[in-house]
Chains A and B, each alone.
Chain A
Amino acid sequence: METPTRTGRLGRFFTGFGSLFHGLAVTSRHFGRTIFLRKNVTQQYPHEKPTLPKAYRSAIRLIRFPETDSHDCVGCKACERICPSACIAVDGGKVEGIKKKRASHFEMDFALCSLCGLCLDVCPTTTLEYSRLYDEAGYNRNWKHDLLAEFRAREPAFIAEQRQREQAEAEAKAQKAPKKEKPPKEGDAP
């Protein structure tokens, strides 16, 4: 950079000094606005609970469907396979007396989960959703959660109800079936 002349230097001093005051004017305006006009944005956390957005992502849980009052996990292991952090362990299979498969084990390690939501995407029965937990903390390395825990007690009752539902469905199907089979036969014949 060229060395400025004496008058140049003086000019620069004044423009420089002026620029500081221009900046100060901006900060004072903000200061005034903050003091008089602005609402408090700080949330008093333990006393106020945060409002979570609709899309908020937290540890997954099984949806309790109102029709069955239970989850709909069939233990297909799709979520276990897609999970990039390998933090889901699912087991399940045939249950005596009903056609539907049921999960017998659904364990998840919250400490490893990165909340990517791929398990929600691949679930064939859409029985997974994000919970609304936001202040979870783990106290040891094995932070496993049994997602089926809240459904265990109701499971025998669910199976009994499911058997009735399936029977009713089968009867309805048996009644409908002969009617359905006739029209294509007639159409095919000529």
Chain B
Amino acid sequence: MSDEPRGASSDPEADPTHPEAYVLNMGPQHPSMHGVLRLKLHMIGEEIVVAEPVIGYAHRAHEKMAENRNYLMFLPNSSRIDYLSGMIYNIGYCQAVEKLLEIEVPERAQYIRVIACELNRIASHLLWIGTYVLDIGGVTPFLYCWDDREQILDLLDAITGSRLTYSYGRFGGVTMDVDDAFLTGTRTFLERMKSRLPEYDTLVRKNVIFIERSRGVGIMDRQTCRAYGVTGPCLRAAGVAYDVRKSEPYGIYDRFDFAVPTESAGDCLARYDVRIREIEESLKIVTQAVRDLPAGPIMPDKPKKKFKPAEGASYFAVEAARGAFGMYLVSDGSEVPFKLKLRTPSFSNLSSMPKVLAGTMVADTIAIVGSLDIVLPEIDR
């Protein structure tokens, strides 16, 4: 490899001598960039020839931090990897360690985990709908989505004591039991959300401006998705019914009746449709979990005090709001993990951008990058 940076200079198509060739830096502090993503766009006129995502502005060395502290001490980090669906990451990390240590989780705790995770997934998707529609010009849905999301945050706040960085799971269970007020609140929210979805449909999905700006824009076909390891709603929008909850069920997800929504177009509109339908499926799961919630303890009778797994390694993946989140834990037999590799979905999703963005117009960049639902701290981690 030469010293030349990847992108325009090494690409024969991006001719720097072209009279209209220039480089546009979008971000890292652009109001429409979610977080600190910098897109280096090599353009000719308004057309993007080469797009180069520049990441690393929010790097906090989570993987390295995991190597310097014992298994329990990494818990608060886990929901800070992706703060928008922190519960799923937090519980996911607990489940990964439980798999390594072979800890049994009580039934009630399993159900509470599912309820909390699915509520968090709905909150994350709602946030995406709000900000995405805001990005491409609609302000009103943002307020409605935030209103709904607030209900979820209040519910989770009541049981975890926190709005974003939950740190709710423990190895073997959860920190706090749910009470009747929480369950009643959840049922009220489920009813409310069911009546809200048709409103979103009228307000956003049938809106001609939204359709024109997202239909046929940023098409990611199956092949691209497979090549770059794209997962989550982006992959399902391309027609691949891959969902870790269905494909490799973890926890108690095999007990619930829910579908994996797919679309075939693979454009921004399909990604919106998939997310909306995922909210519906999550509502179904929460309804079933609240109905079946058994009584019992939320932590094992004799919780372990020392977490010292035998030498070995294990891989565990969960379906986060943005795709498959995998953890590869290597233990050398001590109390401190030898290595924790975090496979975050947004990183793979973003890596497909150079291919998808090439040849599109600069005005569509925000619509395309926004539709991925990336969270930068999760990419940089």
The contact of B161 among A16, A30, A55, by CB within 8 Å, is: A55
Please determine whether A54 and B158 come into contact, CB atoms closer than 8 angstroms: yes
Describe A's contact surface by its main secondary structure: helix
* Segment at the interface with B among A63-71, A94-102, A109-117, A156-164: A109-117
* Segment at the interface with A among B70-78, B107-115, B277-285: B70-78
B157: A residues at CB distance < 8 A: 53, 55-56
Given the interface contacts A20-B207, A26-B199, A118-B73, does A56 sit within 8 Å of B167 by beta carbon?
no
Given the interface contacts A16-B208, A23-B207, does A118 sit within 8 Å of B75 by beta carbon?
yes
Please determine whether A22 and B206 come into contact, CB atoms closer than 8 angstroms: yes
Please determine whether B73 and A20 come into contact, CB atoms closer than 8 angstroms: no
Please determine whether A121 and B167 come into contact, CB atoms closer than 8 angstroms: no
Please determine whether A82 and B72 come into contact, CB atoms closer than 8 angstroms: yes
Given the interface contacts A19-B206, A26-B202, A26-B203, does A114 sit within 8 Å of B170 by beta carbon?
no
Cα–Cα, bound, A164→B203 (Å): 73
Task: Tell me the count of chain A residues lying within 8 A, CB to CB, of chain B.
Answer: 29
Cα–Cα, bound, A74→B311 (Å): 35
Cα–Cα, bound, A1→B167 (Å): 48
Please determine whether A116 and B76 come into contact, CB atoms closer than 8 angstroms: yes
Given the interface contacts A30-B144, A57-B161, does A23 sit within 8 Å of B203 by beta carbon?
yes
In the complex, per-residue mask of A1-44: 1 if CB is within 8 Å of any chain B CB, else 0: 10000000000100111011011011100100000000000000
The smallest beta-carbon distance between B116 and chain A, in angstroms, is 12
The smallest beta-carbon distance between A113 and chain B, in angstroms, is 10
Cα–Cα, bound, A66→B72 (Å): 32
Cα–Cα, bound, A30→B162 (Å): 29
Q: Which residues 124-163 of A sit at the B interface, judged by CB distance below 8 A?
A: 130
The contact of A118 among B72, B207, B209, B305, by CB within 8 Å, is: B72
Q: Which residues 134-152 of B sit at the A interface, judged by CB distance below 8 A?
A: 140, 144
Please determine whether A22 and B75 come into contact, CB atoms closer than 8 angstroms: no
Cα–Cα, bound, A26→B207 (Å): 12
A20: B residues at CB distance < 8 A: 207-208
The smallest beta-carbon distance between A157 and chain B, in angstroms, is 34
Asked whether any CB of chain A lies closer than 8 Å to the CB of B175, the reply is yes
* Closest residue on chain A to residue B200 by CB atoms: A26
Asked whether any CB of chain B lies closer than 8 Å to the CB of A84, the reply is yes
Asked whether any CB of chain A lies closer than 8 Å to the CB of B64, the reply is no
Q: Which residues 151-181 of B sit at the A interface, judged by CB distance below 8 A?
A: 157-162, 165, 167, 170, 175-176, 179
Please determine whether B207 and A117 come into contact, CB atoms closer than 8 angstroms: no
Please determine whether A55 and B160 come into contact, CB atoms closer than 8 angstroms: yes
Please determine whether A84 and B158 come into contact, CB atoms closer than 8 angstroms: no
The contact of A117 among B159, B167, B202, by CB within 8 Å, is: B167
Asked whether any CB of chain A lies closer than 8 Å to the CB of B69, the reply is yes
The smallest beta-carbon distance between A109 and chain B, in angstroms, is 16
Given the interface contacts A1-B216, A84-B77, A116-B76, does A56 sit within 8 Å of B203 by beta carbon?
no
Cα–Cα, bound, A117→B165 (Å): 12
Given the interface contacts A117-B167, A117-B175, A118-B73, does A19 sit within 8 Å of B207 by beta carbon?
yes
* Closest residue on chain B to residue A118 by CB atoms: B72
Cα–Cα, bound, A121→B72 (Å): 11
Cα–Cα, bound, A87→B364 (Å): 47
* Closest residue on chain A to residue B160 by CB atoms: A55
The smallest beta-carbon distance between B198 and chain A, in angstroms, is 9
Extra 20 A-B pairs, beta carbons < 8 Å, given A16-B208, A54-B158: A12-B208, A20-B207, A22-B203, A23-B140, A23-B207, A26-B199, A26-B203, A27-B203, A53-B157, A55-B176, A56-B161, A57-B162, A82-B72, A82-B73, A84-B74, A84-B76, A114-B76, A118-B72, A118-B76, A121-B170
* A–B pairs, 14, beta carbons within 8 Å: A1-B216, A15-B208, A19-B208, A23-B140, A25-B202, A53-B158, A53-B159, A54-B158, A55-B157, A55-B158, A55-B161, A83-B73, A84-B75, A121-B175
Write the residues of chain B forming the contact surface with A, with a CB cutoff of 8 angstroms.
69, 72-77, 140, 144, 157-162, 165, 167, 170, 175-176, 179, 199, 202-203, 206-209, 216, 305
Query: Which 3 residue pairs are nearest across A and B when measured between Cβ atoms?
Result: A16-B208, A55-B161, A116-B76
